[in-house]
Amino acid sequence: MPSFPFLRGLFYVRTTSKMTSQLSSLATLLLLGSFLAPVSSSKIPAQAQVIDQKSFNVLATTQPPAEFNAKSLFVPPGSTGDSLAQKPFHVYDEEFLKIIGDAPTLTRIAHSPKDPLFHEAVVWVKETDEVFFVQNAGAKNASTGLKKSAIIEKISLADAAAVSHKSDAAGLVNVTTVPSSPTVLNPNGGTNYRGQIVFAAEGQGDNEPPSLWVMNPKNPFNATAILNNYFGRQFNSLNDVAIHPESKDIYFTDTIYGYAQDFRPAPGVQDQVYRFNPDTGAVTVVADGFDHPNGFTFSPDGKYAYVTDTGIDSGFFGLNFTRPASIYRFDVKEDGTLDNRKTFAFAHSGAPDGIHCDTWGNVYAGCGDGVHVWNPSGKLIGKIYLGSGTANFNFAGEGRMVICAETNLYYATLAAAGSYIDSEM
């Protein structure tokens, strides 16, 4: 009989005779059957489907890298593009059922024919129950970058919830432009901060530096830059930002995408992750050694930091499929430094961009075909499948999520909750 190490520690049967041994073996087989049984179809919500990973462990044919790579949408055997989209909550492991709950929904609530209005900096403002997000800075179809700054927008979650019974409600939810004053130049990442929103902005041209901005989420949307240099040196193009749940220090990533999208000069420092204490003004580098450090988040208890590396994608300079499309996990030490870097996950579709955790410590990232979800050990347990890429998304409290997919905006309901950090001090 083969060995099943994952059963060790679950039970112990002491054999005293051949018959006892045979009965024990039978009990073991029965127990094993319960472990290996597929997820019961009665447990699967209407908008979900099980993806059997064994069905594609060995494929009859595989295509060479020039034909099938990180840009390709993977369709498991027995599925089609339509069937994957019709039930967008893909269960790779039974753990995902707890996350999506009994009746998850996914609704397209806005659409833009060409202009990628729905890009990043997805932030829930609890007081007004609104979600903010930004346009893609540097995208050709947006005419942003040197010509004009990417805009900030918002929606009411009450409006989104009212149409959540539909699969497509584009045009039924009002998307409002937020006129920050002064203009936050090319915002990209964002998070809650002391009752306001802090944006990681990419800057514009040679003389408008990348900066951290704090904006009032209420009219008149007044904004203030709180950091725009590292000892006099310009940052490259700030990308994402997160607040540590305990210290309330601001951590942010800096990378090359302003340069790679033609609206920032060539980089003057290496791509790095920084830590900023706004009370003392201290700015420190906490991690380097990335290709393009991008998304950043903390585990709900603040013990781990997660950084996505989108080295595979160098913007207008093209793709290199041998570079990282990875998530790295760090231990967060008591003094706020990052230690013990390890590879947490590698995305098979596109590259992991925006990243967030739920209150259970599961890790979510925007990838090439939707939102991928890993458990705390780095095992892929499910997807919210869009059939296209998403740069960022975020929870809006308990059971709600807004997903930016460039020309489409989605509202999802599920059972998990986001790790909302109230950084009031």
Residue 17 pLDDT > 60, yes or no?
no
- In the block, tokens 């800075």 appear at 137
Phi and psi dihedrals of 100, rounded to 5?
-85, -20
**Three-class DSSP category at 51:** coil
Q: Which pLDDT score, from 0 to 100, does residue 29 have?
A: 38
**Three-class DSSP category at 24:** helix
AA letter at 281: G
Cα radius of gyration (the chain):
23
- In the block, tokens 């290996």 appear at 36
CA distance 321 to 134: 28
The answer for residues whose C-beta is within 8 angstroms of residue 12's C-beta and 6 or more apart is none
Residue 31: count other Cβ atoms within 10 Å of its Cβ.
14
Q: How many CA atoms lie within 13 A of 68 on its CB side?
A: 8
- Tell me which DSSP letter residue 245 carries: T
- Find out whether 2 and 54 touch, Cβ atoms under 8 Å: no
Q: What is the pLDDT of residues 138-157, one digit of tens each?
A: 999 999 999 999 999 999 99
CATH numbers and ranges of domains, the chain: 105-410 (2.120.10.30)
Burial state string for 162-192 with b = 16 or more CB within 10 A and e = fewer than 16: ebbeeeebbeebebeebebeebbbbbbbbbb
Q: Which pLDDT score, from 0 to 100, does residue 42 have?
A: 55
Q: Which helix (H) or strand (E) holds 21?
A: helix 18-36
Q: Which pLDDT score, from 0 to 100, does residue 26 have?
A: 41
Q: What is the pLDDT of residues 324-377, one digit of tens each?
A: 999 999 999 999 999 999 999 999 999 999 999 999 999 999 999 999 999 999
